[in-house]
Amino acid sequence: MRSFTVGRVWGIPIRINASLLLFLPVLAWLIGSGAQIETYATIVEGFAPGQLDVAALRAGATPWVIGAAAAVGLFVSVLLHELGHSYVARRYGIDIESITLWIFGGVASLRSVPREWDREFWIAVAGPIVSVLTAAACYLAVRFLPLPSGVVVFVVGWLAVTNVTLAVFNMLPAFPMDGGRVLRALLARRRPYAVATRTAARIGVGFAFLFALAGVLWFSPVLFLMAFFVYGAATGESRAVALDDLLDGMTVADLMARDPPTVPAETTVGAFTDRLFAERRTGFALADGGDIAGYVSIEDLRRRKLDDDAPVSAALPDPVPRVDAAADAFEALAELSGAKGGHALVTEGDRVVGVVSQADYARAVQLRRRAPSEGRPTAF
C-alpha cells in the first residue's frame, strides 16, 4: 500500500501508510465499544485521584470521541517510540530515511544497520525507553494535573497503560522486534554477526508460530497477521544478513560484465529478437553513438509488448538505472532490485564501463558459497 508524507521531524520524513488510515476507524471502534471502556476505567482509577463516571463515558457519542482520541494518541506514542530509535541512531552518525506509521505500529528505516553490538543494543532499547517515559508522563498528568474532564483523564490514563504494554510487547525476543534486535546484539558480543542473526531469526520464527496459535485460539485476526509479519521479517532479515556476509568486501566492479555485447539502439524489435535467439542470449546492451545507452532483455520486450518494427530502444526504462563501479556490492543490490529488468549500467565518473545484473549477483553468491572460508575470490 502507498505511504504519504505528512511532515518532517529533525529532517526525517514522517509517512502514514494507507493501511493505517483504514485501520484507525476500526481501532477507534474497538476502543470505544464493548467492555473496553469499563475495563480500562477500572485500571485508570487505580492511579487517578478520583473515580471515573463510567456511565458518562459510555453515554451518547462519548465512546466514539474516546475511541478516536485514544487511537490517534496511540499512533502519536508509536511515532515518539520510533523517534527514540532515530535519535540514538543519529547520535551514532546513522541517517534515517523515513519513519512510517502503519497498521502494525511504526518503522524507522535506517540507511544502515550497525554491526557493533553495543550500537545496535542502544538503538533498539531507545524505543521502549521512550515508551516507558511517555507512559510515566501520562501517569503523572493523570495523578497530579487538574485535567479538564473525565474523558481526558480516561484517554491520558489509557495511553499510560498502553505505552507500558507497547514497551513490554516490543521487548519480546521476537526478531525483528526491538527485543529480537537486543537479543541479536547480545549474541553478537561473542559470535559472528550472521550467526547471531540466524539464531535471533529462529527465535523470531518460533514466536511467529506462537502468535499464529494464539490468533487461532482467541479468534484474533490481528495476532494472526502479526504472525505473518514476524515470520516474513525474521526470515527476510536473516537472508539479507547472510547475503551481505557473502558479498562482504566486494564492489560493483567485481561483479559487472565489462564490454558487454551490444546492438545498435535503432535496431528493430524483430531484428533484436532474432539475434537473441540466434546467439542464445537473454539480452543485449544498446550502443548509441559509441556509448552504451542501456540494457534490454527479453523480459523487457515481453513487458512493453512493442511492435516488431519499433526501435528496441523504446524498451529501455526511464530513467536507465545506473550504479557506480566503486559502490559496495550489497548496497547497490537494493537499487538494482528495484530496477525493471534487473540490469543497471555501471559508471566510472561520466563514462559507462559495463553492465551489472541480478544474475551476476547470483553467480557471485554461488561461487562464494562454494569457495573455502579463507582465500575466497573477490572478483568474478
φ/ψ (deg, to 5) at 56:
-70, -35
Of 20-34, 141-155, 347-361, 365-379, the one with minimum mean pLDDT is: 365-379
Mean pLDDT of the region 315-329: 78
| Interval 220-259: pLDDT, tens | 777 777 787 777 777 776 677 776 777 777 888 888 877 7
b/e map of 171-196 (b: 16 or more CB within 10 Å)?
bbbbbbbbbbbbbbbbbbeeeebbeb
pTM of the model: 0.68
HSE, side-chain direction, 13 A CA sphere, residue 354: 15
d(CA 322, CA 339) in angstroms, rounded, equals 10
Mean pLDDT of the region 342-349: 79
Confidence of residue 376 (pLDDT cuts 50, 70, 90): very low
| Interval 289-300: pLDDT, tens | 777 777 887 777
For all residues of the chain together, what is the average pLDDT? 82
Q: What percent of the chain has pLDDT over 70?
A: 92
Cβ burial of 243 (10 Å; 0-12, 13-18, 19+) is middle
**Model pLDDT, residue 32:** 81
H helices of the chain, where? 18-32, 36-45, 54-57, 62-91, 117-144, 150-170, 178-187, 193-217, 221-246, 252-255, 269-279, 298-304, 329-337, 358-370
**Model pLDDT, residue 347:** 82
Q: Which residue has the cell 521531524?
A: 9
Side chain identity at residue 35, one-letter code: A
User: Residue 372 pLDDT > 60, yes or no?
Assistant: no
d(CA 254, CA 367) in angstroms, rounded, equals 13
Confidence of residue 107 (pLDDT cuts 50, 70, 90): confident
Packed helices 117-144 and 178-187: angle between N→C axes, nearest 10 degrees: 140
User: Residue 375 pLDDT > 60, yes or no?
Assistant: no
Mean pLDDT of the region 81-100: 92
Which string of DSSP letters, residue by residue, matches 186-207? HHTTTS-HHHHHHHHHHHHHHH
**The C-alpha cell of 183 is what?**
537479543
**Is 82 in the active site?**
yes
User: Residue 377 pLDDT > 70, yes or no?
Assistant: no
Mean pLDDT of the region 30-37: 77
Confidence of residue 380 (pLDDT cuts 50, 70, 90): very low
User: Residue 175 pLDDT > 50, yes or no?
Assistant: yes
User: Residue 176 pLDDT > 50, yes or no?
Assistant: yes
Which string of DSSP letters, residue by residue, matches 25-77? HHHHHHHHSTTHHHHHHHHHHTTSSS---HHHHTSTTHHHHHHHHHHHHHHHH
d(CA 315, CA 301) in angstroms, rounded, equals 6
d(CA 172, CA 216) in angstroms, rounded, equals 20
**Model pLDDT, residue 335:** 66
Of 121-125, 133-137, 323-327, the one with minimum mean pLDDT is: 323-327
**Model pLDDT, residue 112:** 75
Q: Is 343 annotated as a binding residue?
A: no
Q: Is 309 annotated as a binding residue?
A: no
Cβ burial of 128 (10 Å; 0-12, 13-18, 19+) is buried
Residue 5, SS3 per DSSP:
strand
The CATH code of the domain at 252-370 is: 3.10.580.10
d(CA 180, CA 278) in angstroms, rounded, equals 53
d(CA 269, CA 312) in angstroms, rounded, equals 5
d(CA 172, CA 365) in angstroms, rounded, equals 33
User: Among residues 38, 82, 237, 299, which one is catalytic?
Assistant: 82
Confidence of residue 373 (pLDDT cuts 50, 70, 90): very low
Evaluated on CA atoms 90, 92, 96, 99, the torsion sign reads negative
Tell me which of 333 and 62 has the higher pLDDT.
62
Domain ranges of the chain: 3-246, 252-370
